[in-house]
Chain A
Amino acid sequence: MSTMVLISLAVMALALCLTFIRLFRGPSLPDRVVALELFSSILVGIIGVVAIAADVALLLDVAIVVALMGFMATIGFARFLERGGPRDD
């Protein structure tokens, strides 16, 4: 069981690193927003695995909040981009 937790946490950490490269390089702002959304999704998965590992069901509430925050941030960035009109970044 603990090896399963370790392997999946390592794979998810790798996924976070790959996403961070895109967040760092991302040629335009929408690319970075997509990377941030993926960040929050992976974070929800990590919290789920940690909840299994630590046997604490309360961590699921944290996962709900993180998912909600990711969604609201994405919608906010989308609104911000559309109001901004054409841009070159």
Chain B
Amino acid sequence: MIEWFVAGLTLIGAAFMCLAALGVLRLPDLLTRMHATTKAATLGVSLVMLAVALHFAEEAVVARAFGIILFIMMTAPVAAHAIGRAGYFVGARLWDGTLKDELKPHYDPLSHRLDSGLDSERGDQADVSDREK
């Protein structure tokens, strides 16, 4: 009985990882590729580790497997945020079909400064740039 669960979870996890790889190969730009890898690969690894925990069914192994799941779930968004931010600032080209780029009006690539989009802060920055002139 448990064996069937293990087999099913492993196969579904492998399928999700293959889906993530397909996404990273086929999607058009950096941010959409990241959207495929972070979610699908995290789910795939979690399912495989669940299968490992079910297969061994010992306290130490189950704790380690859930530790891996927790670690992946905590680090994947952080890593994706860091590399997505770096990619945007380095100038990764967005897909031609992108409809909305909300960061663009608030980011100055020359001075590498972001404003928060609040009117008051924008006024402050305008004052600063006036004074610098």
Are A71 and B18 in contact (CB-based, < 8 A)?
A: no
* Complex Cα–Cα for A78 and B85 (A): 8
Q: A41-B44, A60-B52, A63-B68 are in contact. Are A8 and B24 (CB under 8 A)?
A: no
Query: Contact residue range for chain A?
Result: 35 or more
The smallest beta-carbon distance between B19 and chain A, in angstroms, is 8
* Complex Cα–Cα for A48 and B72 (A): 14
Contacts of B56 in A (CB 8 A): 57
Total inter-chain residue pairs, C-beta < 8 Å: 177
Chain B residue, CB-CB nearest to A78: B82
Q: Of A22, A52, A85, which is within 8 A of B52 by CB?
A: A52
The smallest beta-carbon distance between A14 and chain B, in angstroms, is 6
Total residues of chain B contacting the partner, CB 8 A = 54
Contacts of B18 in A (CB 8 A): 11-12, 14-15, 18
Chain A residue, CB-CB nearest to B24: A22
The smallest beta-carbon distance between A87 and chain B, in angstroms, is 6
* Complex Cα–Cα for A22 and B67 (A): 30
**Which one of B6-14, B100-108, B115-123, B125-133 is at the A interface?**
B6-14
Are B10 and A38 in contact (CB-based, < 8 A)?
A: no
> Which applies to chain A's interface (DSSP): helix, strand, loop or mixed?
helix
Contacts of B51 in A (CB 8 A): 48, 52
Chain A residue, CB-CB nearest to B65: A60
Q: Of A29, A41, A81, which is within 8 A of B37 by CB?
A: A41
Q: Of B11, B42, B91, which is within 8 A of A8 by CB?
A: B11
Interfacial residues, chain B to chain A (CB-CB below 8 A): 3, 6-7, 10-11, 13-15, 17-18, 20-22, 24-25, 30, 33-34, 37, 41-42, 44-45, 48-49, 51-52, 55-56, 58, 60-61, 64-65, 67-68, 71-72, 75-76, 78-79, 82-87, 89-92, 109, 112
